[in-house]
Structure formats: structure tokens, C-alpha cells
């Protein structure tokens, strides 16, 4: 394995960082693949039960019913995609597809023969077509409803695919609405997980609690009362059969408690580590702390459709100056993140190195508030999740710092903290004034940040003239754009970048988009976090994966 394939401790992080960045920087430009990339037919070795402890339980086990990374940790074990990410990198490799091409407005895909769902049925083109229609076609007999399918449907497949031609049981041609550079990478996203046509027809929305895929692990049960999900090894898996007999996902809300559970042997792998928990793991003789440069963003979003003051750019800039993001990173996150200046981290194509994070400057903030007519301040609610996330491992402490910082310039902040899943429902329905959120990339393409999070998902003619936001009842609104931001200059640049296949031209366009986002400040850009994991001394072959993971089928337990 190369350095891109192997998780590293803090002692060797700097050596590995260069390789990881190089892998991510070429994201989006692989357009052919072969079956040679897949490790197929490997027999099970080892055995045992692998316990994976995290900060929060799942909300659903249907990949078409979620935007939550917590849910994806489990569904990625149960389901496969046509194309996969090589563990620990952003390189595309064969999954349920063995060959693929993207030219102009057409993608051709050859699927793997012999891959079966957990009920024994072979996976074919018909299953992918049913998967696509269930996610995007409201006229499909088995469409589960607008309230059920997640916002991933449109921006992953729905906005781009105009039709699928079946050329046999294992070959298809996917026609696109336009040239779309990230499309192959979208096929590797968790939201493109391939569902069984039979399960779609027979289980419907029951897939949220009774999933069935082609993946390396089979769903056994979900004890929601104790927040435990049990999976067993798929002995008929088309690829690498898991080395462990079963995986148990369990939720432990407090970071330090989760770290202590690992150290005491009650868990084998943990994530969602804050600085204190990371120190507990790093200093233990029974566990190891692994790190890798993340591909993520943590931010505070202004809901312009709800709070009139946020519609004034000077107010948004003032708050960006007033919040001491450097102090949050240094004293709360304690070095496990770096301050952000733009929506993408430095290891993604199109990063604008000329931009700096907003400095902490309360005097400049007060000046801008005076100029905007809000010199006497105002009040807003800051909604935050309670549980740790990689991009914000200590959300309550960070919210309290924001409250304190803004109080210095006359702005009153009321903190509304919620468990993660209710919080996501709250923000996706636009009920927040402002909110903490973050994003861990789905495909390592800049479009997955810029379009997914900051484009309203509607045409520019739906944006009222002279306005850079849209209301939450706008038809087709991308609810991941929790700022309801709709800057037509930004929209134009990101739409152009989507259609551009030349790597350098795309990079230049995204640098323009970064400049616009930085200046217009629809978010307070907070941080880019490292990916941290703790593993027990009995764990081998675990790879820290900023994208596509966790890859648990290759993990071995030594005792």
C-alpha cells in the first residue's frame, strides 16, 4: 500500500499529508475504470465482532432518505455503488461497474456480472434504473414521496440525468441534461448506492429500518433504544469478504467517554474526537490515534430568508470579523483544525490561496454594523447540534464563544442546541435564524461544496431582481443551502464550472467562486478539520478515509 492507502499516527502525519493532498487535487478527472481495481473473491479470515463507537445513532438506514454522515457510516457497509473510492484516497475504482466512460453529455457503464443482493438476486441494470427513478421521479409508482427522499436526489442524479438506455442486463447509456464534469464522481457518492428493484417494490419506506444491498455486510438488527446496529459479514460478497464476523455500531455521546471506552477495550474504533478525547487516545498504551487531512468545512450560516439583518452584506461581514475563529480553532478545537477562508479546503481543486480567513477585529465589525444601520445591535438564534462532528468537535463550546464575541459588538445570541437528527430536520426546513453546520465531501469535487451547499438549486430567473436570497417556499429550493443564498454572479460561475471538463479552466472558475463567497460572506467560514480516529491495539488494516468510508470489510482483529 502507498501512503495514500494507510492511516497514519500524528508522528507520521506530515509525511502522509503531501500524498493525500495530491490525490485529492486531481479529483474529478478519472473517466475510465476496470475490474482490476476491485479485490474480488477474497475469503474471510480472522473473525470476531468489531465495535465501532460514534457520537450519535443513525436516523435512517436508507441512503435515499438522509443527508447525515452518521447514517452513511452504516449504509456504506450494506450498499455498494457503481463506482467506489479507493480506501483513504479520492481515486475512483470499480464497484458494481467494471468499465465506464464520460464524453460530452453521455456516460456509458458496464456492470459487474455475478454481484448479488443479500437475498441472492443478481444486481443488474434494472436495479440501477429502479434506484434512479425511486430517488428522482415523482411519477414512478414506487417513489416514496417528497418528504421522504433527501435533497441529494436532485444534485446527485436528478438535475443531470435526462434518461437511461438499457443496452442489456449489464450495460447502459446514461444521457445527461448538459455537460457535467463531476458526474462519475457522483456515481461514487453514498446517495448513488444501488438498491434492489425487488426491495424497492416490496419494502418501500421500510428500507429505512430494514435495508438490503449488495455490500460486504448484511443488516441484522437495530436496537434503537440502546442505539446499537448489528451487521453480519456477507459470505457471498462479490469482492473482499469481511475479515470480521460482525460489526456493531454503538452511540456514545460524550467525546471523552467514547475515548475511555476505547482505551478500556469496550470499543475497537471510535470517531468524532475532540482535542481532549484525542489526547486520551494518544496517551494510551492500549490504543492509537490516527490522523489524516480532511476534506471538509465547518461554518456558521446566515438564514437570509428569515432574518432581515442578514440580507445586508456589511452585517454578515461584521459578524465574520467579530467571531474569533482563530481562537475557536486554537483553544476549543486545539489544533485539530485550521481556520477557513472559503468553502473548500486546500486539498480540493480550485482552492484560492490568495484568500485569508477573516481576522478577529471587533472595531471593524462595529464600524460595519454602524454603516449598515445596526450599530445598536440586534438579536438572533444560533441553532447548533449537541453531538460532536469532525468539522465541529465541540459545538456547544464554540456556540458559547460566538455568543460572547458578538455580545462585544451589541449582538445578542440565543443558543438553541438540539440532538443531531432533529437539528438537521430543523435547519433543512428553514426554521433557524443562523446555524452551525459543516460538510464532509461526498465526492472530493469542488462542485460538491459550491453547488451542493451555496447554490439555491433553482434557475437564476427565480431569484427576485436586486435580491441575493430566495424564500424557503421557492419551488425546487436546495435545502442544503441553509443560508437561502442566491447570488446570481456566484450561480453563473459555479454553473459554468460544472460544464467545464478542462481541469485548469475549472480551477480558475472555482477560484472566482471562492472570492465571491469570501466577500459576500453568506457564512462565517470557521474551519477545516483533520480526520481523527482512535483504534484499539487489536485492530489492523483500518484506513482513515475522508471520503467513502469507513472501510470496515478490510479490518482485522488480532485477538
pLDDT tens digits, residue range 115-127? 999 999 999 999 9
Q: What is the pLDDT of residues 306-348, one digit of tens each?
A: 999 999 999 999 999 999 999 999 998 887 899 999 999 999 9
Ranges of beta strands (E only) in 104-245 are 106-111, 161-166, 171-176, 217-223, 228-233
pLDDT of residue 44: 52
The DSSP-derived string for 405-468 is HHHTTT-EEEEEEE-HHHHHHHHHTT--SEEEEEEE-SSS-THHHHHHHHS-SS-GGGSPTT-S
Question: Is 305's pLDDT higher than 70?
Answer: yes
> What is this structure's pTM?
0.80
Q: CA 56 to CA 43: how far, in whole Å?
A: 32
> Around 140, how many Cα atoms within 13 Å sit in the side-chain half-sphere?
20
Residue 254 predicted with pLDDT over 50: yes
How much is the average pLDDT of 345-354?
96
> What confidence tens digit (pLDDT) does each residue in 135-173 have?
999 999 999 999 999 989 987 999 899 999 999 999 999
Band of residue 17 on the pLDDT scale cut at 50, 70, 90: very low
Nearest to 472 by CA among 302, 311, 310, 306: 306
- For position 298, what pLDDT does the model report? 97
pLDDT at residue 43, rounded to an integer: 53
* Helices 362-372 and 313-322: angle between axes, nearest 10 degrees: 160
Residue whose C-alpha is closest to residue 526's, from 439, 431, 407: 439
Question: Does the pLDDT of residue 415 top 70, yes or no?
Answer: yes
Is residue 40 very low, low, confident or very high in pLDDT (cuts 50, 70, 90)? Answer: very low
Rounded Cα distance between 77 and 84, Å, is: 12
Other CB atoms closer than 10 Å to residue 247's CB: what's the count?
26
Overall average pLDDT of the 98-104 stretch: 96
Overall average pLDDT of the 229-250 stretch: 97
Determine the Cα–Cα distance for residues 147 and 145; give it in Å rounded to an integer. 5
Predicted confidence (pLDDT) per residue in 488-520, tens digit: 999 999 999 999 999 999 999 999 999 999 999
Instruction: Give the model's pLDDT for residue 45.
Output: 58
Instruction: Indicate the pairing of strand 83-85 with strand 269-270.
Output: unpaired
pLDDT at 35: 38
Rounded to a whole number of angstroms, the CA Rg of the chain reads 23
List Cα–Cα distances, 488 to 406, 516, 524, in angstroms.
30, 11, 20
- For residues 227-247, average pLDDT: 97
Q: What does the pLDDT read at residue 274?
A: 78
Distance CA 256, CA 252 (A): 9
Task: State how far the Cα of 29 lies from the Cα of 129, in Å rounded to an integer.
Answer: 25
Lowest mean pLDDT among 1-5, 323-327, 479-483: 1-5
Better-scored residue on pLDDT, 334 or 62: 62
Confidence at residue 23, expressed as pLDDT on a 0 to 100 scale: 31
Q: Residue 213: beta bridge partners?
A: none
Domains of the chain, earliest start first: 8-33+43-249+531-557 (3.40.190.10), 296-529 (3.10.105.10)
- Report the relative pairing of strands 49-54 and 246-251 from DSSP bridges: parallel
Q: Distance between CA atoms of 203 and 139, rounded to whole angstroms?
A: 18
Q: Is the pLDDT of residue 400 over 80?
A: yes
Question: Angle at the Cα of 242 (from 237 to 244), degrees rounded to 5?
Answer: 140
Instruction: Report residue 214: phi and psi, to 5°.
Output: -110, 5
What is the pLDDT confidence band of residue 33, given thresholds at 50, 70 and 90? Answer: very low
Whether residue 523 contacts residue 313, with contact meaning beta carbons closer than 8 Å, is answered with no
Q: Residue 188: is its pLDDT beyond 50?
A: yes
| pLDDT-derived band at 81, boundaries 50, 70, 90 | very high
Question: Does 32 have pLDDT greater than 60?
Answer: no
Lookup: cell for 295: 476534506
Q: How far, in Å, CA of 346 to CA of 241, rounded?
A: 35
Report the b/e string of 364-395 with b at 16+ CB within 10 A. Answer: bbbbbbeebebeeeeebbbbbbbbbbbbbbbb
Amino acid at each position: 500500500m502507498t501512503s495514500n492507502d494507510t492511516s497514519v499516527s500524528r508522528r507520521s502525519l506530515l509525511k502522509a499529508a503531501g500524498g493525500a493532498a495530491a490525490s485529492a487535487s486531481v479529483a474529478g478527472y478519472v473517466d475510465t475504470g476496470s475490474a482490476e481495481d476491485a479485490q474480488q473473491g477474497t475469503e474471510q479470515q480472522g473473525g470476531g465482532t468489531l465495535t465501532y463507537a460514534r457520537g450519535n445513532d443513525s436516523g435512517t438506514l436508507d441512503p435515499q432518505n438522509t443527508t447525515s454522515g452518521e447514517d452513511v457510516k452504516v449504509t456504506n457497509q450494506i450498499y455498494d455503488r457503481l463506482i467506489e473510492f479507493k480506501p483513504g484516497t479520492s481515486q475512483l475504482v470499480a464497484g458494481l461497474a467494471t468499465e465506464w466512460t464520460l464524453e460530452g453529455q453521455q456516460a456509458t457503464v458496464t456492470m459487474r456480472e455475478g454481484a448479488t443482493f443479500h437475498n441472492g438476486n443478481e444486481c443488474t441494470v434494472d436495479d440501477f434504473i429502479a434506484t434512479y427513478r425511486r430517488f428522482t421521479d415523482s411519477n414512478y409508482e414506487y417513489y416514496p414521496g417528497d418528504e421522504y427522499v433527501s435533497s441529494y436526489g436532485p444534485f446527485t442524479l436528478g438535475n443531470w440525468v435526462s434518461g437511461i438506455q438499457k443496452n442489456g442486463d449489464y450495460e447502459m447509456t446514461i444521457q445527461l441534461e448538459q455537460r457535467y464534469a463531476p458526474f462519475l464522481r457522483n456515481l461514487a457518492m453514498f446517495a448513488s448506492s444501488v438498491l434492489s428493484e425487488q426491495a424497492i417494490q416490496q419494502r418501500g419506506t421500510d428500507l429505512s429500518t430494514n435495508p438490503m444491498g449488495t455490500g460486504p455486510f448484511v443488516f441484522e438488527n437495530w436496537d434503537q433504544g440502546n442505539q446499537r446496529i448489528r451487521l453480519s459479514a456477507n459470505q457471498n460478497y462479490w469482492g473482499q469478504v469481511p475479515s470480521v464476523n460482525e460489526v456493531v455500531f454503538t452511540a456514545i455521546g460524550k467525546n471523552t467517554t467514547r475515548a475511555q471506552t476505547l482505551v478500556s477495550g469496550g470499543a475497537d474504533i471510535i470517531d468524532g474526537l475532540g482535542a481532549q478525547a484525542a489526547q486520551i487516545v494518544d496517551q494510551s498504551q492500549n490504543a492509537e490515534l490516527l490522523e489524516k487531512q480532511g476534506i471538509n468545512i465547518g461554518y456558521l450560516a446566515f438564514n437570509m430568508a428569515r432574518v432581515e439583518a442578514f440580507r445586508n452584506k456589511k452585517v454578515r461581514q461584521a459578524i465574520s470579523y467579530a467571531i474569533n475563529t482563530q481562537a475557536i480553532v486554537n483553544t476549543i478545537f486545539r489544533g485539530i483544525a485550521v481556520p477557513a477562508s472559503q468553502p473548500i479546503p486546500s486539498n480540493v481543486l480550485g482552492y484560492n490561496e490568495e484568500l485569508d480567513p477573516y481576522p478577529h477585529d471587533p472595531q471593524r465589525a462595529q464600524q460595519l454594523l454602524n454603516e449598515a444601520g445596526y450599530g445598536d445591535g440586534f438579536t438572533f438564534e444560533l441553532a447548533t447540534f449537541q453531538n460532536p462532528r469532525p468539522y465541529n468537535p465541540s459545538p456547544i463550546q464554540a456556540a458559547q464563544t460566538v455568543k460572547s464575541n458578538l455580545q462585544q459588538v451589541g449582538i445578542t445570541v440565543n443558543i438553541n442546541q438540539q440532538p443531531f437528527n432533529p437539528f438537521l430536520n430543523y435547519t433543512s426546513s428553514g426554521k433557524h435564524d443562523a446555524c452551525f453546520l459543516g460538510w464532509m465531501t461526498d465526492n472530493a469535487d469542488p462542485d460538491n461544496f459550491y453547488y451542493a451547499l451555496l447554490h439555491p438549486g433553482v434557475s437564476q430567473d427565480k431569484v427576485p431582481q436586486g435580491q441575493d436570497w430566495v424564500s424557503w417556499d421557492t419551488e425546487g429550493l436546495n435545502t442544503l443551502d441553509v443560508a437561502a443564498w442566491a447570488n446570481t454572479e456566484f450561480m453563473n460561475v459555479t454553473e459554468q464550472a460544472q460544464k467545464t471538463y478542462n481541469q485548469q479552466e475549472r480551477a480558475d472558475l472555482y477560484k472566482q467562486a471562492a472570492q465571491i463567497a469570501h466577500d459576500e460572506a453568506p457564512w462565517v467560514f470557521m474551519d477545516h478539520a483533520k480526520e481523527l480516529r482512535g483504534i484499539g491495539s487489536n485492530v489492523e488494516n483500518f484506513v482513515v478515509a475522508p471520503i467513502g468510508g469507513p472501510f470496515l470489510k478490510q479490518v482485522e482483529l488480532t485477538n
